C-alpha cells in the first residue's frame, strides 16, 4: 500500500483536499484533518475515533499508537502492512465523522442511486 493509493481513496471523496501537516502530505475535508503521512514516508496517521483500540487489538502488526497519540483519536498505520480495503474503510469513516452532514447525505444519495441502477 502506498501513499499514492491512499491519495486515490481520499480524493475520490467529496470535499477532500490535499494539503500539508507538519511538512508532510495530508488530507482534509473542509479544513478538518483526516490523515497525514509521517516523515518516515512509511507510516500514516489517520483519525479513527472510538474504534482505535479494536483495530490495534485485531491487527497490531498494521495499526499502533505511540505515547504522542494516546490523547488523540488517531492511530498509526504501517503502510507496508496495510490492507487496501481496511484502509479505504477507515478513511471513509474518518471522512464521515469530519465532513458536513449535508455533504455526507449527498454522497450517500449518489452512491445509493448508482447501486440501484446496477442490476
| Mean pLDDT, residues 54-68 | 95
Burial of 61 (0-12, 13-18, 19+ CB in 10 A): exposed
Domains of the chain, earliest start first:
3-110 (3.90.1150.30)
How many angstroms separate the CA atoms of 57 and 28, rounded?
Answer: 27
pLDDT greater at residue 35 or residue 116: 35
Q: What pTM was computed for the model?
A: 0.89
Cell of 19: 494539503
Q: 24: pLDDT confidence band, cut at 50, 70 and 90?
A: very high
C-alpha angle with apex 91: 112 to 57, nearest 5 degrees?
A: 120
- Calculate the average pLDDT of the chain: 92
pLDDT digits (tens, 9 = 90+) for 25-60: 999 999 999 999 999 999 999 999 888 999 999 999
Amino acid at each position: 500500500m502506498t501513499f499514492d493509493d491512499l491519495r486515490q481513496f481520499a480524493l475520490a471523496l467529496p470535499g477532500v483536499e490535499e494539503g500539508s501537516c507538519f511538512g508532510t502530505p495530508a488530507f482534509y475535508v473542509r479544513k478538518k484533518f483526516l490523515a497525514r503521512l509521517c516523515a518516515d514516508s512509511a507510516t500514516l496517521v489517520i483519525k479513527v475515533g472510538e474504534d482505535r483500540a479494536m483495530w490495534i487489538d485485531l491487527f497490531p502488526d498494521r495499526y499502533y499508537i505511540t505515547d504522542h497519540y494516546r490523547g488523540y483519536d488517531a492511530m498509526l498505520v504501517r503502510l507496508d502492512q496495510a490492507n487496501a480495503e481496511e484502509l479505504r474503510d477507515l478513511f471513509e469513516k474518518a471522512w464521515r465523522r469530519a465532513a458536513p452532514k449535508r455533504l455526507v447525505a449527498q454522497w450517500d444519495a449518489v452512491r445509493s442511486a448508482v447501486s440501484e441502477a446496477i442490476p
